[in-house]
Structure formats: C-alpha cells, structure tokens
Chain A
Amino acid sequence: MEYSVLGKKVRRVDGAAKVTGQAKYTVDMALPGMLAGKLLRSPHPHARIVSIDASAAKALPGVAAVITAEDTLKLTFGNWRRYPHLLDEHPLAPDKVRFIGDEIAAVAAADEDTAEEALTLIEVEYEILPAVFDPVEAMQDGAPQIHTGPNVRNNVSETRHIEFGDVDAAFRACDRIREDDFSLHAVSHAAMEPHASLAQTDTDGRLTIWTSTQVPYYVQILLAHTLGMPEGKIRVIRPHVGGGWGGKIELFKDQYCAARLSQITGKPVKIVYTREEEFSCTRRRTPMKYHLKTGYMKDGTLVAKEARAVLDGGAYNAMGPTALYLTGFFQMFPYDIPNYRYDGFHVYTNKNPSSAMRGFGGPQAEFTCDSQLDMIAADLGMDPAELRLRNLMKPGHEIKGYCKVASCGIEECIRKAMKSTGWKKKRGNLQFGRGIGMGCYGFMSGGVFNWINTPYAFSAAMIRMSVDGFAEVYVGSAEIGQGSDTVMAQIAAETLGIPMDMIRVTSGDTAVCPPDLGAWGSRQTLMTGNAVKMAAEDVKKQVLEAASGMMEQNIVYSYDMRDGKVFVKERPDRTIPYQDAVKAAVRARGGLQIVGRGLYTPHGKGMVSPAFSFGAQVSEVDVDVETGKVSMVNVTTAHDCGQVINELGVEGQLEGAFVMGQGYVLSENLATDDGKVLNPSFVDYKVMRAPDVPLNFTSLMVETYEPEGPYGAKEAGEGLTNPNAGCIANAIYDAVGVRIYDMPITPEKILAALEEKKAAAGKKKPGKKPAARKPRKPARPAKKTRK
C-alpha cells in the first residue's frame, strides 16, 4: 500500500524551534525569585557518616535552605517498585556513602556562587571504610560489604539465569569447543544537556517540576513516593531534552532535591549538574567480565553456548539488574542456538552506579559474541559471514518461555551488506593494514518488563479534533531528540488521512498527557505508536459515522479518509471535506468535542519484547602499524526496522548509534582510580568528533512487516550500538592479525599485540622476517580447544 506520509523523509516537528534557538530546554528555564541549588557529594568511595553540621552553611547570607537525610523520609527508591529488595538508594545518604559523588546534602541559595560557598561550610565527619573497586574481588569472602541485607551476599545484589535445551549434552556431542575471556569498560552517556531540574511548589502544596528526563511518569510517581505526596499533586513537565541514552531513565537527586528545597523554601529551585558532575557522579555503561564457551560442528553449525558475566554494578543497583538480564539474553541474538545457558552476577563496587545505556547490555554481549564467532570461523577456515548465515534466526523463531520473533530480516541484512561492500572480494584480501569486519545484532522494540509496577497501560494516547480539523495528539512518550514526536505525528496523520501540518503533538507533561513508560528500550515507536494509531482510528470512526449520515450513500458502502477528505471506498470520486463531517459529528452530540483514545500493553509476548529488530554492520578500517591508530574508512549498515516511519529519522539514528559505538570501541573510557573518575571533562573523555567518523556511511533499509508494530514498524537506532565493537575488532584483526580481548581497543593495545605477535613469530623462525600478511593466528590462543 502506498502511504501518504509513512516511509518518507520528513522534517522534524520540533526542528524549526531547534534551529532558531527558540526551543527551551530545562537548563534554559527561569522563574522569578528562583533559587540556585547545589549538591554536597562524598569525597570518599566508602565511609560511614558520623555527623553532619550544616549550621555555618545555613548562617551564610543568601542561603535559603540546607537539607540532609534528616529532612527526608529516608525511604529507599528506584524503578524496581515491583521488587522492593532491589531498592537500595536514598535521596540523600542517611548513614553511609558508597562512591565518590554520593549525595549527602543540598543547598538552595540566591545564586550559584553562594550555594557553592555554602557547600564548603557543611562539616561532615566520616569514618573511612575499606573500599573495593573490582567486581571479582568484591565477590570474595572478606571483601568490604557495600550493602547488607538478606538478599545481598558478598556484594552480589542480583543473579540471572537463562537456560534452554540440553547444554551439557550438546557440549559433549559437538566437534569443537572454544572458550574465551573478555572484559568491557565503563563509558559515559555524556548527553550534551546535563541533568537539570526546576521545581516550584504552589501555596496549596502542588508541585510542578520541569526536568530533563526520558521518563516523566516515573519521575512523577517516584517523587510522590520519596516526598510522601499523592501522585496527583505532582506535575512533571519535560521540555526539550538534550539527549538521554539511558542516562535519564530514573529519578535523580537533582529532581528530588529541587523538589524538596522548593517545598521548604516556598520558592522555585533550579539545579543543573556541572559537566564534571555529569561524568563523575551520574550513571555509566556497565563494565563486565565475560567468559564465553561455544560448541560447534566442523561444518560451522553452532550447537551450544554458555556465557558467564560478572557486572561491575557500582554503588547502587540503578538499572543494572536489567542490563544483567539483557546482556545474557542478547548474547544469543541473532543466532539460532538450540542449547544455551547464561549466568550473570550483578556486583556492588565503590564506583558510580552502572545503569541503562543505549543497547542496555547488548554492546557488551555482541562484542564478545562477534569476536568469538570470527575466531571460530578462522578455526574452521570459513568466511565469518558464511558462519553467521548458517546459524541465523528465522521469522517465527521461538524460544519457549522467553520470546517469539515474528518478523526477522537478518539474512537479507547480511546479504545486502555483503553485496554493498564487496565483502567476498575484500575479506582477507586487502593489503596489510586495511581490514574489513562484520557484526550482527537483534534488539528489542520496548520491554515487556513492568518493574515499575504500574496499573496503567504501557502506552496511551489521546487525540482531540477541533472543528477546523486540527488534531491535538497527547502522549506521555518522551521526545529526547530521537524523533518520537515526529513519528507520532506521522502515524496520526497517516491514520486520519490528513496532512501532517494539521497535527500537533504534546508529549511529556503528566498533567495533560496519559501515562507512558517513557523513552527506554526503543519502545516509543512500537508501543506509543500503537496507542496513537488506535486513538486516531477512534477519531476517524466518529468522523466517518457523521459523514455516513451526511453523504447518504447505499448502506452497503463504507467510508475512509485520505488527503483531507472523507471518501466512499467503493466510489472514491464521492468526497466531502473531513472538517464538514467533524462539525456534523460535534453538532449531533450537543457540542461534545471529538476525542479518540488508544492504549497499548504487550500481551502474550514472552518475557522480553513484543518485537525484535535486526541488522548487520560491515566496517572497513585502516590500522596504522606505527602508531596503532585505527581510522574508519567505510561503514555500511543494513537494518531491519520493519516499516520505516521517518526515513530521515531512521538514518540519523543509525549513523548516531554507529558513531557512539565507534567511540565505545576506540576512544571513550570513563577511567577510575580508587573509585575516582580521572577524566571528567570533554577534554579528557574522548567522544568522537566530526573528523573521526567514517567519510562513507551507507544505511541500507531492510523493510519487513512486524505484525505487532504500528503499520509494521519496530525498533531503530538503539540496536545498532550493539555490533560496532565486535565489528571493528574483527576488521582490526583482518587488517593486522591481532585480536584484542579487553575494551577499549586503544592504539597502545594494538601496538602491544603487534609486538607480541612479532616476538612469537621471531621465536618460531629465528632470523626470518615476519610475513607481510600471514600468519593469521590469534595473538592470544584460545584457552582450550578440544579435538
């Protein structure tokens, strides 16, 4: 079917405001009489708070209030409302601090300088406790205990187990087994807009908070819990948001403290994190240690896989337990492995908490998976692309008790990417120093998880249509830059058959929009999109009923809307302007406005997601053997996102995801020493800049039809963060024959591996120069190879 707005390159609905500087972000907001808030943070990685004396700070002229745990309800909170044993964090630390940056007190003052001075006057007496920074050490008997409680043992806060098939029997029966160890580091979301909140308490006790968040509804209900207020008295407004990537999917201390300080002072309070706070004290991508064991047949059939992951969770659970599950789950994607076992351990350390970040455990899993697949291919003398093609999930793939995969375009993705890049000609045949690699992935289109324990539908939408034909779409989804408002406008316009400029989307204001779980796990297009489609169909039904009365056609005929007109389906030349039908509908109902409602919650879709996207990534790199520097030459990605809604948006998401992934592999590293972040600035924390990214970036769309998605649409833009690390690692191996097992892949590690390889070659054949290209053996052989 030919769509009128879906699948096209559409301008963003918020674009004009953003290119003119008119778009207001939380950091841009101000209210008369506003106070500036600042947080006092722990300078120690692990300490008991003996006493806090804030009297000098309170006495400083210009200071309106200082709060500590004594001014709070001392309740633990988090997104884990359904699983209270995972709630381990307080708004302000009552008795103990667990990482450098843990929040202890907050100040509201006339200006930022006064607030900062007040922080220096708060006297905290600490009893320093031994700290632990490595998750494996933290699991040992005798390690410092960061949290105590019936569910925590040796700092392990949560374990996850996934198992299906008969893994042990499959390992006994397979031809060969490969085992490898990998380690993955921490990176920062580094959103351009820092965490920021502006809170105002009215005289009747109602609270309004403008905040940079991906989850307005969570902020509303978690503020209600931590402040001891009814949800209905809290309004959360999400202005334009300068990026999130998982770093803004929880209630944070800026939100709580701005709200609490506004209650106490009766004045608006604004808190904006500094860039140093962003890097040092907010969430990060979970570092992991992975052990991976795969059993396979000589023909390349993968028969069994066992994965064990130890997660460096940092000081609090945050969303780490979900990353713990998803890394184990996506470890098998997009492959059909009949026997699989995963054990994951989420371990506390005295570092800033690890949490959700674009890919949510997937990038760690796919680095290990894709790296090992290439080593298996080398062992078998197979083309790594052929090895992947031999073991793919197919449409209809089901893992009993876990998921059903309806649409799946992975095979076409791989074949398209191979063809477009000239894979067969290039792989193994490029000159020394240049290489080509592949990585593949599958990812979710929203989670089935209800850890927040909401009684509401996961997504809902309401559309009001005015008599001049304008449609106001209200959704609780969070436009954070990913383009969800534009997608919702397109879905509404397509369903109603009216132009996009007749649609206005209002999102992310809890007082006027229906609840929605927000922007995480790539859920807005599928879940909120379904709700918008249903609401638009509801509106259309009401308009068409009125039109039917007006047009007086044969009763066997039916009606639809397109191009701003109501038409008779069987006689498309018979039309009336849809506005006429809207007016008639309103008059017929005594003036009641047309309102459509829609909702979506996944049912019967397993434990993870109602639908999965797929894709293949091919990267061509140059490795400078003198410096170890890796440069991207060409990048091609083929992505199956079901029906494309906004092609400009999908391409932008794919390009952005790739480059964020490129930074993850090659340059970004949130380094710590004894729990202290060493590089909390854009000078020392190296994100990709324009000259670093590949000159040639090709996005190939593989369109499938996803029956669960609106118009067949599903995820785009988060999943592609997953394959980049393995893809680039494989390209580096193809280029210079060295395999790096611990991320990030820095020039130093490549040079060291090249040296090691040279030394090994020299030992074998003294006096002979190493071959220009071969041998292609891994620099570090597998620990164990059987048969």
Chain B
Amino acid sequence: MNRMMISFMLNGRRIETSVAPKTTLVELLREHLGMTGTKHACDSGACGSCTVSVGGRTVNSCSVLAVQIDGMEVGTVEGLAEGPDLHPLQEAFLDHGGLQCGFCTPGMLMSARDLLRRNPSPSAQEAREAIAGNICRCTGYVKIVESILAAAGKMREKK
C-alpha cells in the first residue's frame, strides 16, 4: 500500500511522517507516535475516549484518517499542561474527584476544554451536553460536571 507523507502540528510541535492511507488518527497517535494519553475504546466514534482537537474542533480520533490532518493543528491531553503547571481543568478534576479509573479522562478533558473555549461561563446543563459524547463508566458524571464548572470559575478569575 502506498504510504503518504503528512505534516501537521501536534501540541505545538511540527510532525512529519508517512502513514498508510487506512491509518486512523488515533492509531497514528498511539501506535506510531507513542502518544498513548489519547485512549482507544470503541473504534466506532461512540464513546469519546479518543477525543482530540483538530483545527480547533474536537473530533473522535478513531473516526478520522491520519491523512485528513495534513496541514492541521492537533491537540491531545499531553498538550494541556504547560510545563509543570497543570491546566485549570486538570487541577479541578483532581480537587473535585472528576476521575476514577481515568480511562475516559483524557477525552473528557479535551471536550471540556473545547466547551470552555467556546463558552467561558457554562451552566451545568451546558457542561452535561458538552460531554454527552464522552462515556464515563465510573463517576456518574456528577463530579466531572462539578470539576468543569470549578475550572471555568478559576479561569474567569485569572482573566
């Protein structure tokens, strides 16, 4: 199979690599680049574990081909913290118990960050809807929503 060269920005760093046309973005991230923070749990775009941002929008990376991100900016959970400083969402998830097994957490954080970029003051209902595509089997979502609202508050204070 002909491999194709792609070039894209991953968490602010340029990546150039060749991929097979059938490789999905989640496979590229996890298996080729060793970026296993993004999880792969259903392979059908139904659970949100593989949520990443592409060109400023969140996508299920199991349902995007790697060749589609050529020239785009991709963000994953590994790019949330700035050096040793955790993102306010990460801090809030820790302080408010927004995670248990942690498997959905990377995707959940990416959906939450997308929400707060679009809407810095979400209501609880808006936060629930923003993560409707992300399944969490542990927490019952209560503390995830709490964490998102707390992070939103902290981020507004900072500004």
Q: With A20-B80, A28-B36 as given contacts, are A192 and B104 in contact (CB-CB < 8 Å)?
A: yes
Task: Name which residue of chain B comes closest to A18, CB basis.
Answer: B102
Cβ contact of B42, chosen from A19, A241, A275, A656, cutoff 8 A: A275
Of the 9-residue stretches A7-15, A118-126, A756-764, which lies at the interface with chain B?
A7-15
Q: With A240-B102, A243-B103, A652-B143 as given contacts, are A681 and B42 in contact (CB-CB < 8 Å)?
A: yes
Query: Residue among B38, B42, B129 with the most chain A CB within 10 A?
Result: B42
* List of A residues within 8 angstroms of B95 by Cβ: 11
* List of B residues within 8 angstroms of A15 by Cβ: 93-94, 99, 102
Q: Report A129 CB to chain B, min CB distance, Å.
A: 33
User: Is A683 at the interface (CB under 8 A from chain B)?
Assistant: yes
Cβ contact of B143, chosen from A21, A655, A688, cutoff 8 A: A655
Q: With A652-B139, A690-B132 as given contacts, are A192 and B39 in contact (CB-CB < 8 Å)?
A: yes
Cβ contact of A22, chosen from B37, B46, B93, B144, cutoff 8 A: B37
Let me know if A690 and B131 touch, CB within 8 A.
yes
What secondary structure prevails in chain A residues at the interface with B? loop
* List of A residues within 8 angstroms of B36 by Cβ: 21, 24-25, 27-28
Let me know if A481 and B138 touch, CB within 8 A.
yes
Roughly how many angstroms separate A260 CA and B63 CA in the complex, as a whole number? 34
User: Is A164 at the interface (CB under 8 A from chain B)?
Assistant: no
Q: With A21-B76, A194-B41, A682-B44 as given contacts, are A695 and B101 in contact (CB-CB < 8 Å)?
A: no
Task: Name which residue of chain A comes closest to B147, CB basis.
Answer: A19
Cβ contact of B46, chosen from A30, A481, A652, A683, cutoff 8 A: A683
Q: With A691-B132, A693-B141 as given contacts, are A25 and B97 in contact (CB-CB < 8 Å)?
A: no
Q: Report B26 CB to chain A, min CB distance, Å.
A: 12
* List of A residues within 8 angstroms of B129 by Cβ: 690-691
* List of A residues within 8 angstroms of B47 by Cβ: 192, 275, 682
User: Is B135 at the interface (CB under 8 A from chain A)?
Assistant: yes
In A679-708, the 8 Å CB interface with B consists of 681-683, 687-691, 693, 695, 697
* List of A residues within 8 angstroms of B140 by Cβ: 652, 655-660, 688, 693, 697
* List of B residues within 8 angstroms of A657 by Cβ: 140
Query: Residue among B37, B97, B134, B136 with the most chain A CB within 10 A?
Result: B97
User: Is A157 at the interface (CB under 8 A from chain B)?
Assistant: no
Let me know if A242 and B103 touch, CB within 8 A.
yes
Task: Name which residue of chain A comes closest to B76, CB basis.
Answer: A21
How many of chain B's residues touch chain A, expressed as a range?
35 or more
Let me know if B42 and A242 touch, CB within 8 A.
no
Task: Name which residue of chain B comes closest to A681, CB basis.
Answer: B44
Q: Report A673 CB to chain B, min CB distance, Å.
A: 21
* List of B residues within 8 angstroms of A28 by Cβ: 30, 36
Query: Residue among B35, B80, B103 with the most chain A CB within 10 A?
Result: B103
Q: Report A655 CB to chain B, min CB distance, Å.
A: 4
Roughly how many angstroms separate A15 CA and B102 CA in the complex, as a whole number? 8
* List of A residues within 8 angstroms of B93 by Cβ: 15, 19
Roughly how many angstroms separate A584 CA and B46 CA in the complex, as a whole number? 59
Q: With A652-B138, A682-B135 as given contacts, are A193 and B94 in contact (CB-CB < 8 Å)?
A: no
In B106-159, the 8 Å CB interface with A consists of 106, 109, 124-125, 127-129, 131-145
Task: Please tell me the number of chain A residues within 8 Å of chain B, measured between CB atoms.
Answer: 55
Task: Name which residue of chain B comes closest to A697, CB basis.
Answer: B142
Let me know if B46 and A681 touch, CB within 8 A.
yes
| A598-640 Cβ-contact flags toward B at 8 Å (1 or 0) | 0000000000000000000000000000000000000000000
Q: Report A13 CB to chain B, min CB distance, Å.
A: 11
Let me know if B101 and A480 touch, CB within 8 A.
yes
Query: Residue among B34, B47, B77, B141 with the most chain A CB within 10 A?
Result: B141
Let me know if B109 and A19 touch, CB within 8 A.
yes
Roughly how many angstroms separate A326 CA and B128 CA in the complex, as a whole number? 36
Let me know if A193 and B78 touch, CB within 8 A.
no
* List of B residues within 8 angstroms of A691 by Cβ: 125, 128-129, 132
User: Is A69 at the interface (CB under 8 A from chain B)?
Assistant: no
Task: Name which residue of chain B comes closest to A113, CB basis.
Answer: B22
* List of A residues within 8 angstroms of B99 by Cβ: 12, 15, 18-19
Let me know if B43 and A481 touch, CB within 8 A.
no
User: Is A651 at the interface (CB under 8 A from chain B)?
Assistant: yes
In B23-54, the 8 Å CB interface with A consists of 30, 34-44, 46-47, 49
Q: Report A654 CB to chain B, min CB distance, Å.
A: 8
User: Is A399 at the interface (CB under 8 A from chain B)?
Assistant: no
Let me know if A243 and B90 touch, CB within 8 A.
no
* List of B residues within 8 angstroms of A190 by Cβ: 137
Let me know if B100 and A20 touch, CB within 8 A.
no
Roughly how many angstroms separate A240 CA and B100 CA in the complex, as a whole number? 11
Q: Report B82 CB to chain A, min CB distance, Å.
A: 11
Q: Report B88 CB to chain A, min CB distance, Å.
A: 11
User: Is A16 at the interface (CB under 8 A from chain B)?
Assistant: yes
User: Is A274 at the interface (CB under 8 A from chain B)?
Assistant: yes
Task: Name which residue of chain B comes closest to A695, CB basis.
Answer: B124
Q: With A18-B99, A480-B101, A690-B129 as given contacts, are A192 and B141 in contact (CB-CB < 8 Å)?
A: no
Let me know if B102 and A481 touch, CB within 8 A.
yes
Q: Report B124 CB to chain A, min CB distance, Å.
A: 7
Q: Report B147 CB to chain A, min CB distance, Å.
A: 10
Let me know if B38 and A21 touch, CB within 8 A.
yes
Q: Tell me the A residues contacting B by CB distance below 8 Å.
A: 9, 11-12, 14-25, 27-28, 30, 190-194, 240-243, 245, 274-275, 480-483, 648-649, 651-652, 655-660, 681-683, 687-691, 693, 695, 697
- 5 closest Cβ contacts across the A-B interface? A21-B37, A481-B101, A18-B102, A242-B103, A659-B140
Q: Tell me the B residues contacting A by CB distance below 8 Å.
A: 30, 34-44, 46-47, 49, 76-78, 80-81, 86, 90, 93-97, 99-106, 109, 124-125, 127-129, 131-145
